Structure 1
C-alpha cells in the first residue's frame, strides 16, 4: 500500500516537474528572443537559436521528470549522445552551411537586394537563410547557393558603394595624333551627365602595344548607372575617335607565299 502511495506521489511530482519546467522553458525562451531582438540579431538566426535552446531545456526537464520516477536516465543520455554524434556526422555538410550562415547573418557582408558575386554565382540576393543564400542572376534565374560555398570564398559586393569606376582602354594607331585622340575622349566624357566630376576622370597613355597605343579612360559613375554608361561610352568613343580621323587597329599578320622554282 505504501509503495503504491509513494509511486502515486512520484508520478504527481514528475508531472509537476514537467509542467512547471515547460512553463519555465517557455518563459526563458521568450526572454532569449527578447534579448536577441534588443541585440538586433537577425530574426531567422534568433528564432533558430531560441528553438535549439528550447529543445535542450525541454530535454533537461524530461530527464528530471524521469529521474523523479526512478527511471535510470544515464542510458538515455548515452543514447542521445550517440544519436547526436551520428546525426552530426551525417549532417556535417549541413552543419558547415549553418555555421557559415550564422557568420553571414552576424557580419552582414551583403544584404537582400545587393548585387554580389559569391560561391561561383553572380546575381541579386533575394533571401538569406540559415543554410542557403538565394540569388537571382541577370538572366532571371534563381540560384540557391549553400552558405558554406558563399562564406568559404571571396565575396564581391557591387552594391555596397554608391559609386563605381569604369575602366576602358582605347587603342589608336601609332600614326594617329595622340592630342586629337585625347581631346576627343575628354569631349565625350564631359558631355555625359552620368559621369561624375568628383573623383575626376583620368585619360592617359598606359601602354605601347604591338599594334596600338593604348589609352586608358577611367571615370566614376553612380553604381546604378554602371552598366549602361559603360556600354554607351564604349560605343561612343569608337564612333567619335573614328570621326576624328583616329583608327582603332587590330592585330594583323602578313603572310608571304613563295613558289619554289621548278628545276629544269
Structure 2
C-alpha cells in the first residue's frame, strides 16, 4: 500500500512540476508581449521594431532589443532610430503580411540560411538573422546603419532631423507643425532656386557668351543644356531635403520613385542636348576642310551618339527609377544580339563598310566614281548604303559592304584630266605645213590657262588609210567635269581656227578617182604656198588669237 502511495505521489509531483514549468514559460511569453517584445520569428521581430518606434507609443529602448549589438559600442536606441529613418528615407514600405511568420524560416536564395532580407535592391545590407531562438537584425546590418544613414541624408542634412522637430509637434491636417513649416519652406526654396537659375542662365551665361562673340552658340546650343541642368539641380535638391520632413512612409513610397526616375531622365536629356553641341563643333571643323565626306560624317555621329544616350539613359531609368534588375535584360540583349547578328550579317557588313569608307576616304560627296556597273556622282554616304547619281539622272543605292570590297576608280581625285584625240589631215598636205600645224598646236596648249604645261605630247605619228594623223595628248588641271568640258571646247575651237588660218584640211573616209589632167583643165589637188608663208600665217594666228586669249 505504501509503495502504491509513493508512486502516486511521485507522479503527482512530476505532473505538478511540468505544469509549473509550462506556467512559468507562458508567463514569460505573456510578459514579453506585454512589454512589446517578441523575437520568435521574422514577423514578430519586424512588428516589435516598428511598433515601438511609432510616434504614438515611442519606446526606442524596446526597439533596440531587435538589434544584434555584438561588437558594436554605439548607443542602441540611437541606432534603432537611425535604422527607422533609413527605412523611411528610402521610401521602403514594410508590409508585415509579407514577412514570414515562421520561427525556422530559411531563405532559399541565401543557401538555405536562417535569414530574411527586406529589400535587396534598396537595402541589400539590412536583414534579420536567427541567433538561437531569436530573430534580430544581424550584427552586419547594425554595423552598416551609420554608413547607410549618411548616404540617405548626405551633406549634413541628418542634423536637421533633430533640429526641425523643435519648431513644434502639434498636429494639423495629419502632419506635425514642423513638417508643415518644412513643406512651405521647400515650396518657397523651389521657386527661389528656379528664379536664381533662370537669372544666371538667361542673363549671366548669354551676356558672357555675347561678350566673347559666341552669342549664337549660347542661345541655340548651350542655353537648352543650361535650362535642363537647372531643373536637374532643383530635383536633386528636393530629393535630398524631402527626406528630412519624415513624412509617412506611404508618401515616400511614391515620392522617392518619382525623384529617382526624374534624375536619370533629366541627365539623359542633358546629354542628349550636349550631343547637339558636340555635333555643332564637329560641323565647324568639317567646314574648314576641303573634303565633303566630313560633312556627311557629322550627321551620322550625331544620330549614333543620340541613340547611345537614349539607350544608356533608358537602362538607368529602369534601374534607378523603376528598381528593375537590368542584368537579366543585358544578358538577354547579349544572347539576342548573337541571334540578330547572325540574321543581319549583311547589315553589319554594310555598317562596317561605311566605317571603312569614312576612315579610308576613297571618295567624297561630289566625286565621279566608277566600279563595275557603278558609274556616277556620289551624293550621300549613309550607314548602310551610298547614294550615287548616274549620268542618266537615276539614283543608285549601293551597299557600303559592296563598295568596301570593290575596286573603285575615283575620277574626282584626279589632279589632271586627260584629253586625247587624233587630228586627221589630208594626204596632200605638205610636210612643211604639217610641221607648222604641230607648232601651232603647241602654242595653243601653252597659251591656255587650264592645261598642264610640263607634260603633253603632240606629234605627227601615223599614216593611216585615208589620212595623216597627228596625236594630240594633253591634260587639263580642273576640279570638275563641266570645267573640263569647257576647257575642251576652248581648245578645239582654237584648233579649228588654226587649221583655217594655215589652210589645213581635215581628212575623212573618202574615195578619190584619179584621172589624167588635161591642158585645158586644172587638177583637183589644192596648191600650197611656200614654207615662209606658213610661218607668216602662224605668227599672225598666235598674235591675233592666242595673245588675245591670254590677255
Q: Deviations over 1:103-161 (max 9, x none)?
A: 33455443332222246411122222222221111122211111222233233332344
Give the distance between the partners of 1:46 and 1:102, measured in 2 at CA.
11
Q: In the alignment, does 2:281 pair up with 1:38?
A: yes
**Unaligned residue ranges in structure 2 (runs of 5+):** 1-92, 97-247, 286-293, 510-551
Structure-2 change in CA distance of 1:186 and 1:11 (3 Å): farther
Where does residue 419 of structure 2 map in the other structure? 166
Q: Deviations over 1:184-212 (max 9, x none)?
A: 44434534647626234223588999xx9
Where does residue 29 of structure 1 map in the other structure? 272
Let me know the Cα RMSD of the aligned residues. Answer: 4.3
Structure with the greater alpha carbon radius of gyration: 2
Contact kept in structure 2, 1:127 and 1:135, CA below 8 Å: yes
Taking the TM superposition and a 5 Å limit, the aligned residue runs for 1:65-214 are 65=320, 69=323, 71-118=324-371, 120-161=373-414, 163-168=416-421, 184-188=437-441, 190-191=443-444, 193=448, 196=451, 198-204=453-459
Structure-2 change in CA distance of 1:218 and 1:10 (3 Å): farther
Deviation, 1:178, is: 8.0
Aligned-partner SS, 1:113? coil
Q: Deviations over 1:61-83 (max 9, x none)?
A: 144237x63x4443322222222
Q: In the alignment, does 2:94 pair up with 1:2?
A: yes
TM-score normalised by structure 2 residue count: 0.36
Contact kept in structure 2, 1:29 and 1:54, CA below 8 Å: yes
The answer to which structure has the higher helix fraction is 2
Give the distance between the partners of 1:130 and 1:246, measured in 2 at CA.
54
The answer to which structure has the higher strand fraction is 1
Aligned-partner SS, 2:272? helix
Give the distance between the partners of 1:17 and 1:89, measured in 2 at CA.
38
Contact kept in structure 2, 1:117 and 1:157, CA below 8 Å: yes
Give the distance between the partners of 2:414 and 2:449, measured in 1 at CA.
16
Deviation, 1:96, is: 1.9
Where does residue 55 of structure 1 map in the other structure? 310
Deviation, 1:21, is: 0.7
